[in-house]
Amino acid sequence: MCGLLGFIDTRRNCDIKILKEMTNALIHRGPDAEGFFFEENKNSIIGLGHRRLSILDLSKNGNQPLRFNNNIIIYNGEIYNFLEIKEELKKLNYEFNSNSDTEVILKAYDKWGIDCVNKFIGMFVIIIYDKKKEKVFLIRDRAGVKPLYYYFYDGLFMFASELKSFHKNPNFQKEIDPQGLNLFFKYGYILEPFTIFKFTKKLRSGHYIEYNLINNKINENKYWDVANNYNKERLNISFEDASLEMERLLKSAFQYRTVSDVPVGVFLSGGYDSSIVAAILQKNSAKKIKTFTIGFNEKNINEANYAKDIANFLQTEHYEHYCTKKDALEIFPQLANIYDEPFGDPSSIPTVLLSNFVRKYVTVSLSADGGDEVFAGYSKYLTVTKYREVFKGNKNLKKIISFF
Domains annotated on the chain, with CATH: 3-227 (3.60.20.10), 234-369 (3.40.50.620)
Average pLDDT (389-397) is 73
pLDDT band (50, 70, 90) for residue 365: confident
pLDDT band (50, 70, 90) for residue 57: low
- Among 169-173, 278-282, 382-386, top mean pLDDT goes to 169-173
Tell me how far apart the terminal alpha carbons of the chain are, to the nearest angstrom. Answer: 46
pLDDT band (50, 70, 90) for residue 390: confident
Average pLDDT (378-397) is 78
Residue 391 in this model has a pLDDT that exceeds 90 = no
pLDDT band (50, 70, 90) for residue 256: confident
pLDDT mean across residues, the chain: 91
pLDDT band (50, 70, 90) for residue 59: low
pLDDT of res. 372: 81
Average pLDDT (247-261) is 84
Average pLDDT (216-237) is 91
Q: pLDDT tens digits for 101-144?
A: 999 999 999 999 999 999 999 999 999 999 999 999 999 999 99
Average pLDDT (144-152) is 97
CA angle 185, 189, 190 (to 5 degrees): 95
pLDDT of res. 39: 95
Residue 388 in this model has a pLDDT that exceeds 60 = yes
pLDDT of res. 367: 85
Average pLDDT (325-336) is 91
Strand ranges across the sheet with 149-153 = 33-40, 45-52, 3-9, 156-160, 149-153, 200-202
d(CA 344, CA 6): 29
pLDDT of res. 404: 72
CB atoms within 10 A of CB 241: 11
pLDDT of res. 344: 92
Of 30-34, 302-306, 334-338, give the lowest mean pLDDT range: 30-34
Mention every residue, 6+ apart, whose C-beta is less than 8 A from residue 261: 54, 55, 56, 57, 58
Residue 262 in this model has a pLDDT that exceeds 70 = no
| pTM of the entire predicted model | 0.88
d(CA 357, CA 359): 6
Question: Which candidate, 149, 129, 107, places its Cα nearest to that of 4?
Answer: 149
Higher pLDDT: 378 or 28? It is 28
Average pLDDT (61-66) is 83
Mention every residue, 6+ apart, whose C-beta is less than 8 A from residue 191: 183
Active-site residue flag, 2? yes
Residue 25 in this model has a pLDDT that exceeds 60 = yes
2, 14, 116, 323: the catalytic one is 2
Report CA-CA distances (Å) from 346 to 190, 303, 367: 15, 16, 17
Question: Which candidate, 188, 151, 190, 147, places its Cα nearest to that of 169?
Answer: 151
